[in-house]
Amino acid sequence: MHVITDLNETTLCFSCGSLFFDFSGKYGHDLLGKIDGCHVITKEGKEKLSCTCCNEDIIEEDSYFILTIEDDILNDIADQVGADIGGCTYCEGEERGHFVHAFNNDPHDPSSRMEQPEGITLSEYFFDKDVPEELYQLLCTHIQCPCGHGRDAYNNDNSNRGIFEIDDDIYTKRDVADYWGFQYEEFCAFSQSYGVTIEKDDLNNFRTYLSRYPMLALKHPVGKAIYQTLEKHFEARDFSLLTPKVGTLYRGRTRKRDTPTVLTKEQMWAPPQGHPQHGRYNSIGVPVLYVADRLDAIPYEIHPTHEDVLDIGEFQILRKELHLFDLGSFDPTFQGFFNEMNEETKILKQAYLLPNFIGTCCSFIGYHGVRYEGVHDKELTYTNYALFNIEPGVDIQVRDVICYAPQFTITLEEIPQFTKRSPTDFF
């Protein structure tokens, strides 16, 4: 494979040199003929000369370059290429690892399991950004993650950081937002529709404020604006309705096949007040009941293994109507606001604090829960509900609990090199 690893007195044939100039030009650096060392040279004499990238001989009368490009220029290009990087193995990857470990070792629900969603390799990211493959290794030494891993890693005291390798995992900003469950730009637009202006950067700053003063959210202007938005949405009766006409709703829990006793109706409810652990969108001690409107959606939501059976509770709405905040109000594709996997994890993370506040606002204002579309299976259309402010036996009841043995069908599909799809897209 042809590779350019550095540009310090590097000899390149006209073709390979032009490849770099074309690429740098896309990022605002028109270098050819503009700085020292960026001129076309015509080979004279018979001494042997070859291109550092493609190893082709440069013969007499051929045009070529001997390039020295300052790091500041390469760093600027790398920063533009890496503008969509939201995390890497050493920050986002470790955060997800801690989250998954906590979930899988939760003493309140030891049978539940989840896999750690992976990022994409740096080479796949470069491919998506139309970086010539010859420049992958060069950009590896100049790319930088917001956490500090990358070109300046050795200028800090964290010995775990270093220069990126081409196969290191990175996570895009969109992926980070999707995984931790909040779309800043979409929520800003949603607020604006109710006459409330919130800037994206202000939301980010507000989350930092929450990490220091989680109980004083309404003292902050953005906290007041978020509450005002949700309150206006509720007062305008733009909420969705959940009525008995929806039919049966389902909640599933896993247990090992060698566990002889089916879970009781009482065990199908969310843990009682004070018991739930901290999740992405429920504060410590706040119960949230997660249900779906289709039986066959449950395995996609709780991910049973071959060792598990499913106990699925059948729920019936009793109240004339429940008022729900529909997440499609500000992003039809938004999935992460409330999720079954969030219910009983015990790690407190800064990333949870803003969504916790929004969930608390919804509960205080009077919503009975949140409605969001299930997206775990592309061929299955279903709706999820995260319910709070409900009274068992008055607003909703468990009619029955039925045990199911999940059946698995395995197929293999090859993942092409440099695919834009992650392995999890195939399952």
pLDDT 10s digit of each residue in the chain, 427 long? 688 988 888 899 999 989 998 999 889 888 776 666 677 888 888 788 899 999 999 888 898 888 888 889 999 999 999 999 988 988 888 877 876 776 677 665 565 566 777 789 999 999 999 999 999 999 999 999 988 889 876 555 555 568 899 999 999 887 876 676 566 777 888 899 999 998 877 877 787 687 678 788 899 999 999 999 999 999 999 999 999 999 999 999 988 888 888 899 998 987 665 444 444 444 544 678 889 999 998 988 888 888 889 999 999 999 999 999 887 776 555 444 444 344 334 344 455 567 678 778 888 999 998 887 776 655 788 888 888 889 999 999 999 999 999 888 877 877 655 444 443 343 3
Residues 111, 38 share a domain: no
User: Are residues 52 and 145 both part of a single domain?
Assistant: no
Half-sphere exposure in the Cβ direction for 309 (13 Å, CA): 14
The answer to whether residue 208 sits within a structural domain is no
φ and ψ of 97, to 5 deg: -60, -45
Residue-level pLDDT at 336 = 41
- Single out the residue in 69, 102, 119 at which a domain terminates: 69
Residues 89 and 168 in one domain: yes
The answer to whether position 391 is within a domain reads yes
Q: What is the pLDDT of residue 274?
A: 46
49 and 160 in a single domain? The answer is no
Q: Are residues 306 and 391 in the same domain?
A: yes
Whether residue 195 is contained in a domain is answered as: no
Residue 107 CA to residue 102 CA, distance in Å, equals 9
pLDDT the model gives residue 140: 92
- pLDDT score at 335: 45
Residues 369 and 333 in one domain: yes
Does 271 reside within a domain?
yes
Based on the fold, state whether residues 42 and 129 are members of the same structural domain.
no
pLDDT at residue number 398: 95
Are residues 372 and 337 in contact, defined by beta-carbon separation less than 8 angstroms? Answer: yes
Q: What is the pTM assigned to this prediction?
A: 0.56
Count how many domains the chain has: 3
The two structure tokens encoding residue 2 = 């042809």
* Whether residue 27 sits in one domain with residue 125: no
Q: Is residue 302 part of a domain?
A: yes
Q: Are residues 260 and 341 in the same domain?
A: yes
Instruction: Decide if 225 is inside a domain.
Output: no
Q: Tell me the residue range of the domain where 386 lies.
A: 234-404
Q: Are residues 323 and 285 in the same domain?
A: yes
Q: Verify that 358 and 395 share a domain, yes or no.
A: yes
56 occurs within a structural domain: yes
- Give the per-residue pLDDT at 281: 42
Q: Is residue 198 part of a domain?
A: no
Is residue 49 domain-shared with residue 125, that is, in the same domain?
no
